[in-house]
């Protein structure tokens, strides 16, 4: 008479394997169901030489240091350097369509220093910046405006008109305002290159650390 073999109760090893398999399957399903938004955010910095990285080594420009700082704080973000040395706000507006890709998630506008250095009419600067911001709004692109201040040798009237551009636009357009891009760096010879206008690598680090909380607010808007 043959014996009938019966399976015994599951052992601890069997149970552990089953739990591991179920955990693996759940993780796989979660990965497959992950939304497209799980990709890294794309943050574009539209700017002039202060963005492009004039006079600093490759990989040490503001967008590079900003990306590193954000990633160190847990953000999955790629920061695009759309800076061109010498650009005015009008130049930035003229190249907006190809400088800001369609898959951008957020925008920093760092322009205006060259307008001021050339003594361009503040209203011209305001109009160009407003046009840039409205292009971003049309694409529902959260925007941070990096403010600039006029040099004192341009006269009190020019200073008042120019300095007022950035806070007024930010309020009117619902953008985030960082009041002065070179805060903590302007006028400090130890943080600027010999021209007194462009930050050193250490100066860029100061700019990055100071603007970082504002950029995180911008990315939270992009994620909402």
**Which of these is catalytic: 2, 37, 103, 195?**
195
Of 48, 105, 163, 198, the active-site residue reads: 198
Per the CB < 8 A criterion, the answer to whether 66 and 45 are in contact is yes
Indicate if 2 belongs to the active site.
Answer: no
Annotate 135-199 with three-state secondary structure: HHHHCCCCEEEECCCCCHHHCHHHHHHHHCHHHHHHHHHCCEEECCCCCCCCCCHHHECCCCCCE
115 is known as an active-site residue? no
CA 111/CA 90 separation, integer angstroms? 9
Q: Is 49 a catalytic residue?
A: yes
Q: Looking at 48, 49, 105, 115, which residue is catalytic?
A: 49
* Residue among 125, 49, 48 nearest 90 (CA): 125
**Residues tagged active-site:** 49, 195, 198
């Amino acid at each position: 008479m043959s014996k009938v073999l019966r399976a015994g109760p599951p052992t601890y090893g069997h149970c552990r394997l089953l739990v591991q398999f179920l955990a693996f399957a759940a993780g796989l399903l979660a990965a497959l169901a992950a939304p497209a938004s799980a990709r890294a955010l794309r943050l574009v910095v539209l700017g002039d030489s202060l963005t492009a990285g004039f006079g600093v080594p490759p990989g040490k420009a503001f967008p590079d240091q900003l990306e590193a700082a954000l990633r160190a704080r847990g953000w999955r973000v790629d920061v695009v350097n759309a800076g061109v040395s010498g650009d005015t706000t009008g130049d930035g507006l003229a190249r907006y369509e190809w400088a800001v890709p369609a898959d951008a998630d957020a925008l920093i506008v760092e322009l205006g220093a060259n307008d001021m250095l050339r003594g361009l009419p503040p209203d011209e600067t305001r109009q160009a910046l407003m046009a840039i911001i409205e292009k971003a709004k049309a694409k529902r692109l959260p925007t941070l405006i990096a403010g600039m201040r006029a040099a004192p040798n341009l006269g009190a009237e020019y200073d008042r008109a120019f300095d007022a551009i950035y806070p007024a636009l930010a309020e009117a357009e619902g953008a985030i305002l960082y009041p002065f891009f070179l805060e903590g760096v302007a006028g400090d010879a130890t943080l600027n290159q010999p021209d007194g206008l462009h930050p050193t690598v250490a100066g860029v680090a100061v700019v990055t650390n100071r603007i970082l909380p504002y950029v995180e607010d911008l990315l939270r808007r992009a994620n909402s």
